[in-house]
Structures are given as structure tokens and as C-alpha cells.
């Protein structure tokens, strides 16, 4: 991988958003290590995807060390994003074979908001927002576990005043419905073969993203456990830092609204 010449920071108009998924009391230690390393290589701010009651464990705000950690992160400039409620899809019945496959095989029952009706989505979102408020770490964005968000749940996000949501291929401004298309780099580490497919896929994707106005690197705590994956991810982050400015999703959205960067109207994108 070529790292290219380091350019003047002020000249960088393209953005790099590094997000860390599944932040909770369960993953606090490993997320701390990830943030430390990212800071060392030049990423001072990330979007932290917080799960209020990770896999039905006690609510995150009951863990004082976690609350202190999260508040410190916010003071340091990181952004808190609401990331589901339990992060689990606990359904036992499915509407179709595809529904079953996505839930049980593709996401290993992590797609909590994949087929959620509006009413259930609302109660989970309100409970999540309340918890973040109690921790004094409110969020303006919502990202569904496994990036799978039902249409009904998305409508509720708008009603509740969320600013944006993110899927694997785009960031959507919920105030005006506009999308910025950008495929995220992300690793799958559940099986050995998945890790190797992931490395090849991300190598290809990273090369395609050169020059993109928004580059996204979505990290999971498990990425840190596998040296080959972690090294690959951090090498690509370092590579993009030569041409892109690190920022959070909220900061990127703010800049997009101010500068009217290239966006794609959802209706137009769907029609093409």
C-alpha cells in the first residue's frame, strides 16, 4: 500500500470518519485501547456507537466506570451515536426465508431494528435516548445494529428528531432526506475464512475509495483481537489520513449542510 505524500492539513477537504461499533460496559476496556491507538496515529475524534443494554445485560448507565469513560470521551471530542437498544434480534418467527437468513445467518441475530414495527422501534429509541440523557452523553444520530433499519423505524427516527442515520453504503440527513453515498470499510471476524475474505475485500475497497469526499472506517471491538485485521485497518486509516481529515459523522453532516457537498436525493437515487 502506498501512503503518498503528506499534504497540508488545511488543504484537506475530504473527510475520514472512523466509527467504533458496540461500545458498552462489556467492551469498554478494548474500546479504550482502540481509541488510544487511533489517537497515536492521528485520529483524535471518532463516532462511538453506544448500545444501551448490550445483549440484555444491565443498562449501561448503572456502570459508573462506563459512564465516566463515556463522559470523558465526549469531553475529548468524540461523538456518541445511539446504536440499537440490546443489539439483539430475539424473534422466533420470521416472515420469509430471506428474513430468516438475514437474521440468523447473515447477522447472527444482531439485526435488532431489521424488521421492527414502528411502535416497538419507538419504545426502544425513547428508552435509549433517555439513558443517554441520564449519562449526560446525548446523541443526534442513530445507527441500527448491522446497519439494518426498517422503513417504519426510520420514520420514527424522523419523528423523534434524530439528525441522521447511517447504513453500510450511505449517510442520510434525516432533516432533508438527502444521502451521501459512501461504502464503509468494515471487517467480519466471526470465522477464519470470513477474516481472510474481509481483508481481500477491504484491500480492494480501500483502493477504490482514494479521492472519495467521505471515507468511512467502521471498527468493531473484535477487530482489535485479531492482529492481522487490526494492522490492516490501522494501516488504511494512516493511509487515508494523508489525504483526508478525521472527523465524526455529526461534524461531517454539519460541514455538508454548510458547504452543500455533493449529495444524492433519495428519490432520485431510488429511481436510477
Q: State in angstroms the smallest separation of the CB of 131 from Zn ion.
A: 16
Instruction: Rank residues 52 and 145 by Cβ distance to Zn ion and give the closer one.
Output: 145
Binding positions for Zn ion, 8-37, rule CB under 5 A: 21-22
Binding positions for Zn ion, 59-118, rule CB under 5 A: none
Q: State in angstroms the smallest separation of the CB of 84 from Zn ion.
A: 7
Binding positions for Zn ion, 137-176, rule CB under 5 A: 145
Residue 18 pairs with which residues in a beta bridge?
A: 217
Give the C-alpha separation, 220 to 235, whole Å: 16
Give the C-alpha separation, 84 to 52, whole Å: 7
Instruction: Rank residues 88 and 182 by Cβ distance to Zn ion and give the closer one.
Output: 88
**Cβ–Cβ contacts within 10 Å for residue 267, how many?**
8
Residue in 144, 146, 151 with CA at minimum distance from that of residue 106: 146
Instruction: Rank residues 165 and 243 by Cβ distance to Zn ion and give the closer one.
Output: 165
Q: State in angstroms the smallest separation of the CB of 211 from Zn ion.
A: 29
Instruction: Rank residues 20 and 135 by Cβ distance to Zn ion and give the closer one.
Output: 20
Kindly state the number of chain residues that form the binding site for Zn ion, as judged by CB under 5 A.
3
Instruction: Rank residues 145 and 206 by Cβ distance to Zn ion and give the closer one.
Output: 145
Helix (H) or strand (E) holding 230: helix 227-241
Give the C-alpha separation, 136 to 257, whole Å: 26
Q: Which residue is nearest to Zn ion (CB)?
A: 21
Q: For residue 43, what are the CA distances in angstroms to 33, 105, 180, 246?
A: 13, 34, 22, 6
Q: State in angstroms the smallest separation of the CB of 220 from Zn ion.
A: 7
Q: State in angstroms the smallest separation of the CB of 187 from Zn ion.
A: 13
Q: Which of left, alpha, beta for 57 (phi over 0: left; psi -120 to 50: alpha)?
A: beta
Residues found near Zn ion in the complex (CB under 5 A): 21-22, 145
Amino acid at each position: 500500500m502506498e501512503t503518498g505524500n503528506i499534504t497540508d492539513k488545511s488543504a484537506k477537504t475530504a473527510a475520514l470518519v472512523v466509527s467504533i461499533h458496540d461500545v458498552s460496559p462489556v467492551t469498554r476496556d478494548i474500546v479504550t485501547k482502540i481509541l488510544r491507538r487511533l489517537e497515536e496515529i492521528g485520529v483524535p475524534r471518532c463516532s462511538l456507537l453506544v448500545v444501551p443494554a448490550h445483549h440484555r445485560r444491565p443498562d449501561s448507565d448503572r456502570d459508573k466506570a462506563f459512564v465516566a469513560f463515556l463522559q470523558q470521551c465526549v469531553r475529548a471530542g468524540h461523538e456518541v451515536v445511539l446504536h440499537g437498544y440490546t443489539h439483539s434480534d430475539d424473534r422466533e418467527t420470521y416472515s420469509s426465508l430471506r428474513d430468516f437468513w438475514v437474521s440468523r445467518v447473515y447477522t447472527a441475530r444482531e439485526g435488532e431494528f431489521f424488521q421492527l414495527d414502528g411502535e416497538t422501534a419507538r419504545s426502544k429509541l425513547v428508552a435509549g435516548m433517555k439513558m443517554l440523557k441520564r449519562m449526560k452523553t446525548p446523541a443526534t444520530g442513530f445507527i441500527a445494529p448491522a446497519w439494518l433499519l426498517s422503513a417504519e423505524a426510520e420514520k420514527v427516527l424522523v419523528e423523534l428528531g434524530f439528525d441522521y442515520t447511517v447504513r453500510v453504503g450511505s449517510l442520510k440527513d434525516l432533516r432533508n432526506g438527502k444521502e451521501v453515498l459512501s461504502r464503509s470499510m468494515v471487517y467480519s471476524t466471526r470465522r477464519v475464512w470470513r477474516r481472510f475474505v474481509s481483508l481481500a475485500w477491504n484491500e480492494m475497497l480501500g483502493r477504490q475509495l482514494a479521492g472519495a469526499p467521505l471515507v468511512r472506517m467502521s471498527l468493531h471491538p473484535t477487530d482489535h483481537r485479531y492482529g492481522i485485521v487490526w494492522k490492516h485497518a490501522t494501516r488504511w486509516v494512516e493511509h487515508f489520513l494523508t489525504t483526508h481529515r478525521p472527523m465524526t459523522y455529526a461534524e461531517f453532516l454539519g460541514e455538508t449542510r454548510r458547504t452543500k457537498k455533493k449529495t444524492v436525493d433519495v428519490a432520485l437515487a431510488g429511481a436510477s
